[in-house]
Amino acid sequence: MNHQSSQTTEDRFRCIWRVVATIPAGHVMSYGAVARRAGLVRASRLVSKALRAAPDELELPWHRVVRADGRIAFPAGSRLHRLQIRRLTAEGVRVEKGRVVPASRPDDPDLDKLLWGPRS
């Protein structure tokens, strides 16, 4: 039991996992945006930890989470880096030089501006 905060790290992880699970295929979200949507401000680094600690059974679409500038968080050339790009491209998301190309559409009524979609 937690004496100090009403929300434990585990609870926050669950909130984060829930948000990530809602990212539609063909779209991506930044770590910061996920944190914000989970009700956690400035917890982008926590999001990365949450994804790292996520049970495989959840089968989270972790590949739809990228940096704020659209770049893949994993080191270029790493196995996960390649896997993420592979899965994104399979969903129609354009990736150039390890960076997601934002869909320049005038209206994104959906989530925030930090959410891109497939090439329109």
Which residues of this protein are in contact with DNA, per CB under 7 A? Answer: 9, 12, 30-33, 41-49, 51-52, 54, 62, 65, 67-69, 73-74, 80, 97
* Nearest to DNA of 8, 105 (CB atom): 8
Rounded distance between C-alpha atoms, residue 39 and residue 113, angstroms: 17
For the bound state, the minimum distance from the C-beta of residue 89 to DNA, rounded and expressed in Å, comes to 16
* Nearest to DNA of 76, 92 (CB atom): 76
Rounded distance between C-alpha atoms, residue 63 and residue 29, angstroms: 10
For the bound state, the minimum distance from the C-beta of residue 111 to DNA, rounded and expressed in Å, comes to 14
* Nearest to DNA of 9, 89 (CB atom): 9
- Measured between its terminal Cα atoms, the distance across the chain in Å is 48
